[in-house]
């Protein structure tokens, strides 16, 4: 028998015994006051009868009414906290434990859960406000630019050959930026909701990287940045969504060029461990302060907001990268040192069979 149950039974018996003694003392007192014919034998018999009656009475009240209802409350609280739908044939049987203690523990558990839930909802509300503010700000900038260029053209600039074509090009550039922001937001939303299904296939990730670097050669050449691919492994077959992984490499390499230093270098290395391909993308750029690293993959998070917008970024690139990698059930990390450079490391699933050629 559980310790709590033994304590309850002892308390219950003592209560009945004290009640019977109390009734007997009342009868003895009445006998002394009113001279009833009340002998000691009769007092003892009365005490035993009172003890038996009180035992049955308290047992019925405690066990059948109070105790069973407390136990039902405990069971319903358990179902509520576990978010289970009660079964109408559910058996609320007593499990030989103290129901009052169970009720107390369940109430404490509910209070703690609600406190955590309120804290979580508060964080979500803060995040929602920041997110809406960031979206509004990011969209407002190109909209105001377009408005300014169009207003100038309407007010007569359209006929000024010195500015009309230039302002139209700038307006077009702002429209492209708005489209990029909206496309990136849609991509993140689909990845988070799970509505974006991955089209996994087997492909050579080294060949994919070479294709992406070729497309970025012009941007890299403007800062005289060299993109070097580790040539120890000629071919590595992985299983992933090729289009999305291309996005990952394009975003990370574009960042290394944007924030890399003049005459710098970006290196890509591949390492195969069992069924996992580890990819390192390192640059010798300006680096990132350690305090920024935990939030680097957040949407719209910028280290240098002014400089980032000048570079034309949407602030969503790294968030998309993280979501794509996690959608493949893989991981991505970042390490950085100011003045030394930054390294992004992520994993991919290696294809089966002879998928690596040194």
pLDDT of residue 92: 43
Question: Can you give the CATH number for the domain in which 215 is found?
Answer: 3.30.565.10
Among candidate residues 165, 247, 244, the one with its CA nearest the CA of residue 201: 244
What's residue 69's pLDDT?
Answer: 67
SS3 label, residue 222: helix
Q: Is the model more confident about 195 or about 27?
A: 195
Q: What does the pLDDT read at residue 99?
A: 60
Structural domain total, the chain: 3
Q: Residue 305: pLDDT band by 50, 70, 90 thresholds?
A: low
Contacts of 246 by beta carbon, 8 Å cutoff, 6+ apart: 208, 211, 212
Does some domain include residue 264? yes
pLDDT (0 to 100) of residue 292: 87
| Domain annotation covers residue 115 | no
Shared domain for 187 and 219, answered yes or no, is: no
What is the pTM (predicted TM-score) of this model? 0.59
Q: Are residue 332 and residue 276 in the same domain, yes or no?
A: yes
Residue 103 covered by a domain: no
Residue 207 confidence class, pLDDT cut points 50, 70, 90? very high
Within a domain: residue 106?
Answer: no
For position 210, what pLDDT does the model report? 92
Q: Give the pLDDT confidence of 47-78 residue by residue, as tens digits.
A: 676 666 766 666 666 666 666 666 666 666 66
For residues 140 and 94, the model is more confident at 140
CB 334 within 8 A of CB 287: no
Contact call for residues 280 and 309 (beta carbons, < 8 A): no
At residue 335, the pLDDT reads 92
Looking at every residue in the chain, the average pLDDT score rounds to: 77
**What pLDDT score was predicted for residue 1?**
46
* 177 or 223: which leads in pLDDT: 223
**Based on the domain organization, do 211 and 182 belong to the same domain?**
no
Whole-number pLDDT of residue 249? 94
Of the two residues 132 and 216, the one the predictor is more confident about is 216
- Based on the domain organization, do 177 and 212 belong to the same domain? no
Over 80: is that where the pLDDT of 322 sits? yes
Question: What pLDDT is recorded for position 233?
Answer: 74
Transcribe 230-289 into DSSP letters. --S-SEEEEEEEHHHHHHHHHHHHHHHHHTSPTT-EEEEEEEEETTEEEEEEEE-SS---
**Do residue 41 and residue 150 come from a single domain?**
no
Q: Are residues 36 and 88 in the same domain?
A: yes
From residue 22, how far is each of 26, 50, 243, 269 by CA, in Å? 6, 9, 87, 89
Shared domain for 215 and 177, answered yes or no, is: no
Inform me whether the pLDDT recorded for 328 exceeds 80.
yes
For residue 336, give the 3-state DSSP assignment.
strand
Report the pLDDT averaged over residues 202-223.
91
Run of H or E residues at 103:
helix 99-154
DSSP assignment of 113-150 = HHHHHHHHHHHHHHHHHHHHHHHHHHHHHHHHHHHHHH
At 346, is the secondary structure helix, strand, or coil?
Answer: strand
Question: Is residue 118 situated within a structural domain?
Answer: no
- Any domain includes 108: no
Q: Are residues 226 and 248 in the same domain?
A: yes
Residues 66, 36 share a domain: yes
Find the farthest-apart pair of alpha carbons in the chain and give their distance in angstroms, rounded. 129
For the chain, percent of residues with pLDDT exceeding 70: 65
User: Does residue 282 form part of some domain?
Assistant: yes
Residue 159 has pLDDT above 80, yes or no: yes
Q: Higher confidence at residue 111 or residue 128? A: 111
pLDDT at 95 over 60: no
Q: Quick one: average pLDDT of 260-277?
A: 90
Q: What is the extent of the structural domain holding 52?
A: 3-97
CATH of the domain at 137: 1.10.287.130
Query: Which residues 6+ apart lie within 8 Å of 15 measured at CB?
Result: 58
Q: What is the mean pLDDT of residues 173-185?
A: 83
Q: How many CB atoms lie within 10 A of CB 248?
A: 27
Neighbours of 167 (CB within 10 A): 20
The mean-pLDDT minimum among 53-67, 237-251, 286-300 falls in: 53-67
Do 207 and 346 lie in one domain? The reply is yes
Comparison of pLDDT for 96 and 146, the residue scoring more:
146
Show Cβ contacts of residue 64 under 8 Å, excluding neighbours closer than 6 positions.
Answer: none
| CA pair distance 78, 212, nearest whole angstrom | 55
| pLDDT confidence band for 246 (50 / 70 / 90) | very high
Mark which of 193, 215, 231 sits at the end of a domain: 193
Domain boundary residue, one of 164, 193, 222: 193
Residues in the chain: 358
The pLDDT, as a whole number, for residue 87 is 47
Tokens coding 173 = 């550039």
Q: Which of 138, 163, 193 is the last residue of a domain?
A: 193
Confidence (pLDDT) at 187? 81
Residue 283 phi, psi (nearest 5): -135, 165
Instruction: Specify whether 82 is located in the same domain as 143.
Output: no
178 in a domain, yes or no?
Answer: yes
| 75 & 221 share domain | no
């Amino acid at each position: 028998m559980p310790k709590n149950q033994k304590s309850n039974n002892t308390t219950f018996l003592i209560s009945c015994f004290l009640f019977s003694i109390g009734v007997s003392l009342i009868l003895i007192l009445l006998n002394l006051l009113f001279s009833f014919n009340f002998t000691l034998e009769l007092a003892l018999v009365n005490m035993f009868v009172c003890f038996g009656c009180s035992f049955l009475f308290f047992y019925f009240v405690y066990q059948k009414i109070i105790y069973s209802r407390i136990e039902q409350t405990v069971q319903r609280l358990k179902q509520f906290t576990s978010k289970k739908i009660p079964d109408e044939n559910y058996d609320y049987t007593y499990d030989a434990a103290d129901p009052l203690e169970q009720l107390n523990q369940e109430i404490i558990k509910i209070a703690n859960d609600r406190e955590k839930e309120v804290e979580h909802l508060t964080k979500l509300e803060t995040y929602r406000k920041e997110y809406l503010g960031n979206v509004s700000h990011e969209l407002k900038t190109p909209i105001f630019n377009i408005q300014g260029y169009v207003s100038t053209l309407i007010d007569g600039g359209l006929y000024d050959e010195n500015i009309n074509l230039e302002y139209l090009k700038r307006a077009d550039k702002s429209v492209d930026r708005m489209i990029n922001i909206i496309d990136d937001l849609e991509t993140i939303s689909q990845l988070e909701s799970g509505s974006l299904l991955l089209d996994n296939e087997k492909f050579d990730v080294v060949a994919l990287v070479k294709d992406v670097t070729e497309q970025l050669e012009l941007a890299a050449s403007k800062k005289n940045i060299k993109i070097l691919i580790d040539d120890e492994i000629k071919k590595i077959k992985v299983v992933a969504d090729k289009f999305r992984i291309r996005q990952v490499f394009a975003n990370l390499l574009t960042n290394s060029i944007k924030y890399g230093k003049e005459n710098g270098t970006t290196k890509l290395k591949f390492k195969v461990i069992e069924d996992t391909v580890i990819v390192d993308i390192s640059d010798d750029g300006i680096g990132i302060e350690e305090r920024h690293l935990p939030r680097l993959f957040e949407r719209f998070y910028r280290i240098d907001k002014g400089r980032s917008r000048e570079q034309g970024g949407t602030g969503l690139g790294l968030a998309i990268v993280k979501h794509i990698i996690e959608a493949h059930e893989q991981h991505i990390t970042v390490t950085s040192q100011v003045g030394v450079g930054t390294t992004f490391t992520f994993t991919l699933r290696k294809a089966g069979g002879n998928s690596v050629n040194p």
